[in-house]
Structure 1
Amino acid sequence: MNILFVADPLEVFKTYKDTTFSMMREAQRRGHRISACEPRHLSWRSGGLVHADVREIALTGTEEEWFQVQRTERRALRDFDAVLMRKDPPFDTEFFYATHMLEQAQREGAKVFNRPSALRDHPEKLAILEFPQFVSPTLVTRSADEVREFHAEHGDIILKPLDGMGGMGIFRVGPDGLNLGSIIETLNHHGATTIMVQRFVPEIIHGDKRVLVIGGKVAPFCLARIPQGTEVRGNLAAGGKGVAQPISERDREIAETVGPLLAERGLLLVGLDVIGDCLTEINVTSPTAFQEITNQTGFDVPAMFVDALEEAVDRDRTVI
């Protein structure tokens, strides 16, 4: 296959942990060709096709100069066997516009994973609303009064912005309500911005688990991101410690309910965040944790992903 990765600049990849890099490495190992571009390189002109300025690359196997550019060219996205949208969050207006460009490319014949419309339809915080049976008590609102009522009912709560990533902007407020008003103002901008509030789940001390669903199938291991010191956030970007472990029966129940449904909608790769028994987030933009799980358990997550990608491309060819 000839695969195009739409991602962040290659020069900023941290290859020792980057999931997109691990996908590229496995794809190259199987003999697939790899190209890369950024969302800013996408363009379309009336009467033509969605194109991108792409770099075909070869991985070198070294850390410092980890890729070599074989050629740089302008190509239509439909000329690739698969286009992988792997741009990291945040899901801002430019990401939104990129999904529309990719959707146009899809109409022209490109095979895009994850499906652009599915990326738009599943905002990572709000997607859990479809599965209330797995969610801890949750409030989505702009209203400061509703937040205060929710706090009065549950006592210990988490507040977070809907567009955050890596634990950014997450606050915990305990029964004393200390700084609740200031935190609400900071997050909802005096009622102008919608926020999410959830009852605090004390099982966070055992980790915020990333459960991977690939092609509708559940990976047998997850990555528990465990908060360190006085930190309440388990996100690796916030200093959490990543510990790979077998998924629990509850993890499997959640993933086997949610995963196949999302796969049918065009989400080849999904990362579910689970704290205790509760689903807290559904990650679809660029789910990670491949290398951590593989290195700690020996289970080859990149191989599972490329297997699913090859199957999806072959299935599309059969349908066509």
Structure 2
Amino acid sequence: MNKKILKIGIVMDPIQLIKIEKDSSFAILLNIQKRQHNIYYMEMNDLYLKKGIAYAKTRILRLKNQKTQYFNFIEEKNIPLHKLDVILMRKDPPFNMEFIYATYILERAEEKGVLVINKPKSLRDCNEKIFTLWFDQFVPNTLVTRNLSQIYHFWKNNKDIIVKPLDNMGGSGIFRIKKNDANFFSIIEKMTNYEKKYCMIQEYIPDIKNGDKRILIVNGEAVPWCVARIPKKEENRANIAAGGTVKIKKLEKKDWEIINYISSMLKEKGLIFVGIDIIGDKLTEINITSPTCICEIESNINISISGMLINYIENKIY
């Protein structure tokens, strides 16, 4: 029996701006195309609600795995989103109100039977930084606040801290404040916008020198290899976007302990494609908006992570 050709939508940042050699969305789309499913491309500006129905301007996307002229659109049409079988929400942070509004639109499509990955409600509920605190036994000493006095006392007690915004990605806006740093107050004033904006403060984890591990999980099943992002000299951030180098590693015992504990909740919340970050034996982030590092693993290990995701979609729909 021939399998149904699926109509798979994707909401992402402008495709003409991506770097295809390391873009996880592109890797996923190539696999979708290989299986002869139809790809309906959308950007945030294309989504809208009309009389309570979710619509979008869509373009049928065709891809070529080459450095230039790697895509073209063959058709443009406004359609009700419930005409699609699946929608992949792959818009990069910042996680702001515009992102939240888009999840409301996608939720209307979901209510009419469309499989949305990841689940719109959970995209709103599970902030990539704060959600880690639902698994506090695996998390470094952490404070979430906008109160300067609380941050000051946390710094004095821990002596070496990391301060992160709650809504960004790629290491953007992250500061390390060491003991007796004279810049403490100016950094915290900026990070909290003078006590008007929440941020996350964590104890510094020296194990960062061995890499910030990105582990990918598909429907609760972890890829047994991870990307260890190692910071360059004189840099606190290990993110690839911040110049970190990449080493592919097998998962360790503590990694599996964390994965086995959290995977059931991820599945329960409809968080089908997730990237968790572990430094040493500490869980630091649960990335659910547009997890990356598929290409880095697939180019070094004979495994298809994008294939795992498409297998899940096909098994769910058929």
Aligned residues: 313
Look up the match of 1:29. 34
* Per-residue deviation, 1:146: 0.9
Distance 1:287 1:255, change over 3 A: same
Q: Counterpart of 1:118? A: 122
Match of 2:88 among 84, 89, 92: 84
**Aligned: 1:3 with 2:34:** no
Q: Aligned to 2:233, what secondary structure does the other structure show?
A: coil
Contact map agreement 1:78 1:111 (CA 8 A) in 2: no
Say whether 1:66 aligns with 2:70. Answer: yes
Equivalence for 2:3: none
Residue 92 (structure 1) shift: 1.1
- For residues 234 and 61 of structure 1, the distance between their equivalents in structure 2, rounded to whole angstroms, comes to 28
C-alpha displacement of 1:177: 3.1
In 2, Cα distance between the equivalents of 1:294 and 1:223? 11
Q: Any gaps of 5 or more consecutive residues in structure 1?
A: 315-320
Alignment of 1:73-222 (within 5 A): 73-222=77-226
Runs of 4+ in 1 over 6 A off after TM superposition: none
1:229 paired to 2:263: no
Other structure's SS at 1:288 match? coil
Whether the 8 Å contact between 1:49 and 1:108 is mirrored in structure 2 is no
Question: What secondary structure, in the 3-state scheme, does the structure 1 residue paired with 2:299 have?
Answer: helix
Q: How does 1:281-300 map to 2 (within 5 A)?
A: 281-300=285-304
User: Secondary structure of 1:299's partner?
Assistant: coil
| Displacement after TM superposition at 1:129 (Å) | 1.1
Are 1:312 and 2:316 counterparts? yes
Distance 1:128 1:226 in 2: 21
* Counterpart code for 1:130: W
Shift in alpha-carbon separation, 1:266–1:149, aligned structure 2, 3 A: same
Q: Which residue of 1 aligns with 2:60?
A: 56
CA distance, structure 2, for counterparts of residue 35 and residue 307 of structure 1: 19
The offset of 1:281, in angstroms, is 0.6
The DSSP-based 3-state class of the residue aligned with 1:190 is coil
User: Percent of aligned pairs with the same residue?
Assistant: 40
In the other structure, the counterpart of 2:284 is 280
SS of aligned partner of 2:50: coil
Instruction: After TM superposition, give the deviation of residue 168 of structure 1 in Å.
Output: 1.1
- 1:256-288 CA distances to partner (integer Å, 9 max, x unpaired)? 211221111111111101000000011100001
Instruction: Output the CA distance in 2 between the equivalents of 1:21 and 1:147.
Output: 40
Mean Cα deviation higher: 176-185 or 138-147: 176-185
For residues 171-209 of structure 1, the C-alpha deviation after alignment (integer angstroms, 9 at most, x for no partner) is 111122331111111101111111111000000001111
Provide Cα deviations, 1:157-176, integer angstroms capped at 9, x if missing partner: 11111112111111111122
Match of 1:15 among 13, 20, 45: 20
- Measured against aligned partners, the alpha-carbon deviations of 1:14-58 in whole angstroms (never above 9, x if no partner) come to 111110000010111112111201121011211x63111111012
Q: Secondary structure at the match of 1:75?
A: strand
Q: Residue 317 of structure 1 aligns with which residue? A: none
AA at the equivalent of 1:266: G
8 Å Cα contact 1:259/1:270 also seen in 2: no
Q: Give 1:39's aligned residue.
A: 44
Distance 1:170 1:70, change over 3 A: same
SS at match of 1:297: coil
1:318 matched residue in structure 2: none
In 1: Cα distance, 2:233 partner to 2:270 partner: 39
- Tell me, in whole angstroms, the C-alpha distance in 1 between the residues paired with 2:174 and 2:267: 29
Letter in 2 for 1:274: I
> 2:296 corresponds to which letter in structure 1?
E
Question: C-alpha displacement at 1:61, in angstroms?
Answer: 3.0
Contact 1:217–1:260 (CA under 8 A) maintained in structure 2: no
Distance 1:114 1:164 in 2: 18
The one-letter code of the counterpart of 1:191 is: E
